Structure 1
Amino acid sequence: MHVVILCGGESPERDVSLASGRSVTQALLERGHEVVLVDPAAVVPVLAGPLRPGDTVEALGVAKAPPSLADQQQWRRRMYAALTGGPVLDHLRAAEVVFLALHGGWGEDGHVQALLEMAGIPFTGAGSAPCAAAWHKGRTQAVLAAAGLPVVERALWRPGIVDVPESVKRLLAAGPVVAKPAADGSRVSVHRVDSLPRLAQVAAEVHSGGVELMVEPFLPGREFTVAVLGDQVLPVVEIELTTPVFDYAAKYQPGATSEVCPARVPDDFASRLQESALHAHRALGFGSDSYSRTDFRCDADGEPMCIEVNALPGMTATSLLPLAASGAGWTYPDLVQRILDLAGS
């Protein structure tokens, strides 16, 4: 097939996405596909291609910290222009399918999906509506709770617009909380907070970007993640942490965490997690042609709570979805091919 891969983009996950794009490119070349690799936010958006089977691309690592967003508005202007006209749009229209290796921001919140839908261009992953539903963590948890899935109490706060809400103060008075952007990915700016002064520091950090903050109780138990591809649920992955929270640095630095697949848990517990992940996948509107990854963390009693659902989980060498696929006996190129096949189902 002739495949265009979109990666990079304008979000804090830009570096992760560039690494994913290169990994996916190499896998598709090994599977016999022709590939054009595109970063629509770059000055020169076509990074490589057309590449043909036998060609290779170098892997790309992920830095310890997310990139500065000083150029985000410029990235967005370039990205919109590239996706709506010129040579990138020509490449997209010529593709048999577009492989979305974008993470975060416009690449995961439904913006890019909506543009491709309006242009009638087929792409991998969920459509714009499920992506938008999953992107905002507060709304996601409201949908999951309405569907009967276990979630924690949460409070939303937009620092700088209103004072600390009573709902946030009440959660903090009951014990440590986790404060994080309500709409973001790759655990960017995730903080464990145990006092109002510390919360004020976190709020000052996110206020500069006009970010809405979600505050929820800190869960001290084990952490798990479960991926769903189409109607197939993959083995449970446990994330064994050496830090209080699974943040960006821990997620993308080899050796920062221990990730075990299949997780060493009783079969009935693993089945509960898998059933919950499939339920969450469907409750948010993900269909049999898409994929997702649901994250869980256990409370003090060992009960798993749904934390969030990822519409375009990472595809780097250290990402959790490829690890789950390996637990199912798939190679990385197998996983990439299966995602491609879903787009044509």
Structure 2
Amino acid sequence: MNPQQFGKVAVLMGGSSAEREVSLRSGQAVLNALSEQGVDAFAFDPAERNLFDLKSLHTDRAFIALHGRGGEDGTIQGALEFLGLPYTGSGVLGSALAMDKVRCKELFKARNLSTADFLVVEQGAHFDVEQIIAQFGAVMVKPAHEGSSIGMAKADTAAQLNQAINDAFRFDDTVMLEKWITGREFTVTVIAGIAQPIVEMVTPRGFYDYEAKYQANSTQYFCPADLTSDQTDYLQQLAQQAFKLVGASGWGRVDAMQDKDGQFYLLEVNTVPGMTEKSLVPMAVKANGINFNQLVINILEQTL
């Protein structure tokens, strides 16, 4: 690897989404890895600088470490396309679709990819919490356009559901109500179209929420996950199908669950996963003998 081949690299981090703090940590880790390998890289926070400054700074390409809205939803990708700057990860369409949980689910359903049943509620519209609980039992409430489990909550009574929906409306005007799945949680990293070893996340918190991801010391990770070879092959292929279906490319992560009967269900596609010390993508590739610095270079090489 010749670090000069990349030219001047902007590591986009921070931003103004609800995931700003995680993005700053991801971006700093990426910046450190690039700098350690001799790449001319610098930090760039779109919340603090005009994006057009990238041109005056003679930037050659961008490593996107922005999470959530403005960074993972096609917005920054479109701006970089306009500026003529190569960037890491998915393009405009793949980023936008993957960030939209509702359209992701609709695509999964349309292609008969296994995913849990769901409903959508809009702010200001009528919804009957009693009827929803009667239909689904327990429900996972998710803002339609947030990541890192922000605004998510489980509800198994009408009162809990009403509160959870109103809490989720603080983050989004559209909220998805997904039938609760009791079982195991997994994630599959996809790099250059190839599924990496599966990671299983085990938390005492009920589900893999924001605290379990970034703050708790009680979360356990198993990689490769304890699955049969047939189950591993099936889940990896399912993840690759989902990744391709939404138009994602480059690198990313697909989350899934397995119920008590062994059935797998797709949850969502992440096109700019976390790259912190607790992140899942570095954990997955490490099982394939790839360290963090190599991972960062592999991702950046996709922009050449």
TM-score w.r.t. structure 2 length? 0.94
Given that residues 98 and 248 in structure 2 are in contact (C-alpha distance below 8 angstroms), is that contact kept between their aligned partners in structure 1?
no
Q: In the TM superposition, what whole-angstrom CA distance separates every residue of 1:258-317 from its partner, at most 9, and x where no partner exists?
A: 011111111111111111111111111124xx1120000122312110000001101111
| 1:10 lines up with 2:16 in the alignment | yes
Given that residues 146 and 171 in structure 2 are in contact (C-alpha distance below 8 angstroms), is that contact kept between their aligned partners in structure 1?
no
Given that residues 14 and 103 in structure 1 are in contact (C-alpha distance below 8 angstroms), is that contact kept between their aligned partners in structure 2?
yes
* 140-149 vs 325-334, greater mean Cα deviation: 140-149
Aligned to 2:3: none
Which of 47, 69, 84 aligns to 1:120? It is 84
Aligned to 2:132: 170
| 1:336 lines up with 2:296 in the alignment | yes
Q: In the TM superposition, what whole-angstrom CA distance separates every residue of 1:106-129 from its partner, at most 9, and x where no partner exists?
A: 100000000111121110001111
Compared with structure 1, are the counterparts of its residues 148 and 154 closer, same or farther at alpha carbon in structure 2 (3 Å cutoff)? same
Which of 174, 190, 211 aligns to 1:249? It is 211
Q: Which residues of 2 match residues 193-208 of structure 1 at below 5 A?
A: 193-208=155-170
Instruction: Indicate the SS of the match to 1:139.
Output: helix
Compared with structure 1, are the counterparts of its residues 174 and 140 closer, same or farther at alpha carbon in structure 2 (3 Å cutoff)? closer
Compared with structure 1, are the counterparts of its residues 174 and 36 closer, same or farther at alpha carbon in structure 2 (3 Å cutoff)? closer
Q: In the TM superposition, what whole-angstrom CA distance separates every residue of 1:31-84 from its partner, at most 9, and x where no partner exists?
A: 210111011113xx4xxxxxxxxxxxxxxxxxxxxxxxxxxxxxxxxxxxx11x
C-alpha displacement at 1:170, in angstroms? 3.5
CA separation in 1, counterparts of 2:102 and 2:67? 19
Q: Specify every segment of 5 or more residues in structure 1 that has no aligned partner in the other structure, as ranges.
A: 46-81
Moved over 6 A (4+): none
Q: How many residues align?
A: 298
Paired letter, 1:123: Y
**Percent same amino acid among aligned pairs?**
35
Aligned to 1:73: none
C-alpha displacement at 1:245, in angstroms? 1.5
Q: Specify every segment of 5 or more residues in structure 2 that has no aligned partner in the other structure, as ranges.
A: 1-5
TM-score w.r.t. structure 1 length? 0.83
Paired letter, 2:126: D
Aligned to 1:148: 112
Instruction: Indicate the SS of the match to 1:297.
Output: strand
Q: In the TM superposition, what whole-angstrom CA distance separates every residue of 1:310-337 from its partner, at most 9, and x where no partner exists?
A: 0110111101111111111110001101
Aligned to 1:272: 234
Compared with structure 1, are the counterparts of its residues 190 and 316 closer, same or farther at alpha carbon in structure 2 (3 Å cutoff)? same
Which of 229, 235, 238 aligns to 2:197? It is 235
Compared with structure 1, are the counterparts of its residues 190 and 213 closer, same or farther at alpha carbon in structure 2 (3 Å cutoff)? same
Aligned to 2:285: 325
Instruction: Indicate the SS of the match to 1:155.
Output: strand
C-alpha displacement at 1:89, in angstroms? 4.2
CA separation in 2, counterparts of 1:199 and 1:146? 27
Aligned to 2:148: 186
RMSD: 1.6
Aligned to 1:63: none
